[in-house]
Amino acid sequence: MARVRDLWFSSVIGPDGQKQRQKTKRHPDNGGSKDSKRWLAVWIGLDGKEETKAFKTKTQAESHGTTKEADRLRGVYVDDRRGRLTFREYAQTRWLPSQVHLRINSLDTYTVHLNAHLIPALGERRIGSLTRADMKAVVARLNKSLAPTTVHTVFAVLRLIMQAAVDDGDIPSNPCSRVPLPRIEARVVEPLPVEAVLALADAMTPRYRLAVWLGFGLGLRLGEALGLTTAKVDAQAKRVYVHRQAQNGQLVELKTKASRRTLPVDDLILTKIEDHQKTYSAGPEGVLITNRCRRIAQRKSFNECWREAVEKAGLPKGTRFHDLRHFYASGLIKANLNPKVIQTRLGHATIAETMDTYGHLFPDQDDLGRGAIDALLIPTITEQGRNRQS
């Protein structure tokens, strides 16, 4: 059972053999500070050993000890000592090393957000002292310099860290819950015009130019384009098999099953692939696109060339490689392909993802189907009318 101990007095056996109260060194009369915490809450922790915490008032000590006992019985006990770790210590030494299930790119993204935004904001704070008010302050700080979508991403990392601290028994609850985030305005996709994508291809450094053609000609994501190998291009069948992607100079599996797909290739794109192969020899595992060292191209190197190409082509700053996929999707829509086919070609996990992104590009469907019910009903109604007349 929880109990309270008076730190200013102790019980001793007097000359008469009876218990007597005696002032301890903590008592102000014996040199102790008047502001020192007098009452010590004592309770049994998860390991069966006594744990303690000092308070100024007896009521506070009794309440804390009783609460700790109740938390232990209810299975929600939190060790106060573990909450003394700083946010930096917990995130860098305990949380981040435990993310062994993440892909390299995801781990890199988490690390960047942690070091660039979260540690500067919370690094030296004790993790057990963080409150919902602190989380709101972090959001306000992020919102001053980052786009709403990035704020959501960074805060998602913070929420994961704090939830891990809850699961580890370091804090009682996640202070990130019910924290409002900035509204994200729906981004309406506006495909690049033909002249723009061709200008980008012309402006891109020749070694990486094929990636641009694969982006707007096959809708490949950047990792998929940089990871395409000679074995996955079937010129005779006019097919490209998207099975792997490039990450940090290596070929790795695709993120989702839906991303693994077979794509029909137009003659123009096949010609670009063949021209590239005539100029540049294949790299490790047969990758088509390599860097100057003939290794698998790194995103950082490619992105530098991409930004230069965007500027040289006279396109708005911030034009993304992903915009090439939008061009490809718009071409499929103009060709009247079934939305389900478009979903498969793009490697989307669900048709909802396809329609949410490109639904506005499909032809107006309001008048389609008018007359279909008439065509079903009128012949029978007409025939029935003739039979009545006869």
b/e burial code for range 292-310 (CB count within 10 A of at least 16 → b)? eeeebbebebbeebbeebb
Residues 69, 217 contacting (CB under 8 angstroms): no
84-167 belongs to CATH 3.40.50.1820: no
pLDDT at position 387 is 83
Amino acid at 354: T
pTM for this model (two decimals): 0.68
Residues 122, 134 contacting (CB under 8 angstroms): yes
Q: What tokens were used for 134?
A: 């602190």
List of the chain residues with pLDDT < 70:
46, 75-83, 364-369, 390
Rounded distance between C-alpha atoms, residue 16 and residue 72, angstroms: 42
pLDDT at position 366 is 62
Domain residue extents for the chain: 3-77, 84-167, 194-361
pLDDT at position 255 is 86
Residues 306, 267 contacting (CB under 8 angstroms): no
Residues 217, 266 contacting (CB under 8 angstroms): yes
Residues 72, 45 contacting (CB under 8 angstroms): yes
Rounded distance between C-alpha atoms, residue 12 and residue 186, angstroms: 74
CATH code of domain 194-361? 1.10.443.10
Residues 12, 23 contacting (CB under 8 angstroms): no
